[in-house]
Structure 1
Amino acid sequence: MSGTRNQSLLPTLDITSFTNCFKGPALCLYNDAVFSQEDWNGVRKLCDSIKKDDPLRVGQFGLGFKSAFHITDYITIISGSQLLFMDPSAPLLFIDPSKPPVDQKCRFVPLSDLGKVLPESIALQLWGTYLTFQHILTGTFPATLFWFPLRQQPSQLSPTVYTKDRVRQLFDSFSVEAPICLTFLRALEQVSLQRVEIDLRTSVLVHQVGYHNDGVSDARQQRQNLRHILHQCEGRPSTSITSQYQVTIHNTKDGQVSKQTMLVLHYLPGQQDKYCIKYKGNEPHRYIPLVGVAVPTQPIATSWAQGSLFTFLPLPLDPANATGLPVQVNAYFTLDQNRRHVKWRTHKSSKEPDNESSVNDPTAPTMEQDPRAPTVEQSSVYDPPDFPMELESSIEDPSLQDTDLQPEGEITFQLIEKGTRHCRDKLIDSLGYTYKKKMQ
């Protein structure tokens, strides 16, 4: 919430008012980065979002931080030198008629004063995996911790009770997408799910997926460079932008470890290129024609035969979200209301002016070839061993007609085709082969 209301610490600490924020069982999230002031400003806007109109923010495609209130009525955040206690149902507190009321929905407390609202021994028992006495003493926590007490009974916010079993189901559903969830994210490198036993001392690793040391430095640098360039040009470069890197992702579950090495390519056409792509629907500033493709290099994953669609995170793994290509595809797709599927343009919607789904519009202008992009020489043929040549053949495969991602959706299809061929060329080059396609 924002405005003239005071959102700082109450003049006199009412310890009992914080009790609900520390209860268990709870879902605990830890991130090794510290909140910026912009993060603090955004997270306390309970009825708004700072990301929805920013095309460079991945969060605009998700359900958002406020979706945490589906499982809890109270949130505690510890980051840097501050704690934030959130209670959306808390009433305004009128202390002095001459002053604005105190908004108890969001209350800040310096980390050094944590002992005034919660005994330090209990704080260390709850969060001792990450928080230490030294952090409390110095008043600085070099990371961010979220504490979501599970809703134990119906409340003003929601009638839904959230049990430990439902959290386990949440973990299980994540495990389905875990091996590919990091593919197109711009900063995250590892996700670990752990179950802490009732004694709060023993933790069990449920699932972990993360970048392996091989190539991680280059991938990190390439992703940082891409973020920097996108922010500099606000997602509208004058000339095309490409970024590619190879990364190995380790997936650990039930003591079993698997790994997948992939080549990832990001491509964004420029405003001064031979072609210029413009979104024709509502709120055009929210969408940029950035596309990413990822191809497995070792091993060649058979599970990628149909591929998946992403809006930075994978859409639910069902046939409606299959690419029809042996690659993963990321783009600024418009999504349906529940954010589970791409909103494809239909015959009916094509007659509606400024329809938002026109991002996937088959009537959009055909994209012409960029003369500066890498191409494949049209002469003789050489097939490198163990290279997934179905990567190219699937683009012209008639079976592609069974998916929504077919050539009649010219703008989307050609971006993916271009990115796929570019990715293939980079892969062959990285393997030390020379590849030339046979003239037809």
Structure 2
Amino acid sequence: MSNKTPKKAKGREFKPREPYTHRLRKILEDYPDGSQVLREILQNSDDAKSTEQIFILDHNTYPKDNLFEPDLDNYKRTDLKLDRYQGPALLAKNNTIFEERDFQSLLKLADSEKRDQYDKIGVMGVGFNSIYHITDSPSFITGDKYVILDPHEWYFNGGVEFDFVDEKLYDEYPNQFAPFRIPCDKSFKGTIFRYPLRTDDDSIDSDISKKIYKPDEILAMFQKF
């Protein structure tokens, strides 16, 4: 790999019209913790017409160099770094690729002002947000797109979508993609979500939840599922 400074990864931001960490807290009050989180993921996969759903509990911690540089100044002020998400995670993989309306659904999850709108926002229903019981920053790869959700706006402006294949981002930032455990130099024929587990340090900073999740607790969820 070359020693030259990598080009800055640029993506399409999709900032909601209002911060939604407080909205997520409210949603989590209505959606049970524990194995119900897995059921919500499975329901979203079924709604997307997937014919398979695979869950993976990844205990590994990945290298912390060669990662994206955040766009916002917040991380400079708070000394937050993306390497906090290189630890253990829950992965959920299915064989359906996101469509544009699914990306729009992610926006509507934050923008919907009325609770009765939540069941009208497409494949990514409000139940998707139950995943914030265990993580503060979900990310996923679908087709040739890589998406990072950042409801705290610590690193990106709410969320960002990268064309990782066309931009050859794997060559520049291999450790950003290593935790997905799939080849990332080509399009992925499906969708794989990665949910980094909330750590002790994350819980201090989080405005969504103070609940810390260890791999053993995810394993217990599997056993009850």
Separation (CA, whole Å) in 2 of partners of 1:168 and 1:34: 27
Separation (CA, whole Å) in 1 of partners of 2:120 and 2:223: 32
Q: Match of 2:16?
A: 2
User: With structure 1 as the length reference, what TM-score do the two structures score?
Assistant: 0.29
- Please state whether the residue corresponding to 1:147 is helix, strand or coil: strand
Q: Match of 2:160?
A: 107
Structure that is richer in helix per residue: 2
Q: Match of 2:192?
A: 145
Q: Match of 1:363?
A: none
Query: Identical aligned pairs, as a percentage?
Result: 24
Q: Match of 1:52?
A: 119
Q: Match of 1:23?
A: 86
Separation (CA, whole Å) in 1 of partners of 2:194 and 2:172: 14
Q: Does 2:101 correspond to 1:38? A: yes
Separation (CA, whole Å) in 1 of partners of 2:111 and 2:89: 25
User: With structure 2 as the length reference, what TM-score do the two structures score?
Assistant: 0.54
Structure that is richer in strand per residue: 1
Can you list the C-alpha shifts for 1:14-52, whole angstroms capped at 9, x where unaligned? Answer: 259672574220000101110011111112334256761
- Aligned with residue 222 of structure 2, among 159, 167, 171: 171
- Please state whether the residue corresponding to 1:2 is helix, strand or coil: coil
Rate the CA distance shift 1:23–1:80 in 2: closer, same or farther, 3 A: same
Rate the CA distance shift 1:134–1:21 in 2: closer, same or farther, 3 A: same
> In the TM superposition, what is the alpha-carbon distance from 1:71 to its structure 2 partner?
0.4
> In the TM superposition, what is the alpha-carbon distance from 1:74 to its structure 2 partner?
0.7
Separation (CA, whole Å) in 1 of partners of 2:190 and 2:17: 28
8 A Cα contact 1:79 1:143, kept in partner: yes
Q: Does 2:207 correspond to 1:160? A: no
- Aligned with residue 137 of structure 2, among 74, 77, 80: 74
> In the TM superposition, what is the alpha-carbon distance from 1:125 to its structure 2 partner?
3.9
> In the TM superposition, what is the alpha-carbon distance from 1:118 to its structure 2 partner?
6.5
Rate the CA distance shift 1:32–1:166 in 2: closer, same or farther, 3 A: same
| Uncovered stretches (5+) of structure 1, i.e. residues with no partner | 5-12, 94-102, 175-440
- Aligned with residue 119 of structure 1, among 173, 177, 181: 173
Separation (CA, whole Å) in 2 of partners of 1:116 and 1:58: 28
Rate the CA distance shift 1:160–1:3 in 2: closer, same or farther, 3 A: closer
- Please state whether the residue corresponding to 1:44 is helix, strand or coil: helix
Greater gyration radius: 1
- Please state whether the residue corresponding to 1:64 is helix, strand or coil: helix
- Please state whether the residue corresponding to 1:162 is helix, strand or coil: coil
> In the TM superposition, what is the alpha-carbon distance from 1:158 to its structure 2 partner?
0.7
- Please state whether the residue corresponding to 1:83 is helix, strand or coil: strand
Separation (CA, whole Å) in 2 of partners of 1:21 and 1:37: 29
Q: Match of 1:65?
A: 128
RMSD (Å), alpha carbons: 3.4
Rate the CA distance shift 1:170–1:114 in 2: closer, same or farther, 3 A: farther
Amino acid at match of 1:27: L
- Please state whether the residue corresponding to 1:52 is helix, strand or coil: helix
Amino acid at match of 1:85: I
8 A Cα contact 1:73 1:87, kept in partner: yes
8 A Cα contact 2:143 2:188, kept in partner: yes
- Aligned with residue 14 of structure 1, among 60, 69, 81: 69
Separation (CA, whole Å) in 2 of partners of 1:42 and 1:124: 24
Q: Which has the higher contact order (CA 8 A, sep 6+)?
A: 2
8 A Cα contact 1:33 1:144, kept in partner: yes
- Please state whether the residue corresponding to 1:167 is helix, strand or coil: helix
Amino acid at match of 2:209: S
8 A Cα contact 2:134 2:213, kept in partner: yes
Can you list the C-alpha shifts for 1:347-388, whole angstroms capped at 9, x where unaligned? Answer: xxxxxxxxxxxxxxxxxxxxxxxxxxxxxxxxxxxxxxxxxx
**What is the total number of aligned residue pairs between the two structures?**
146
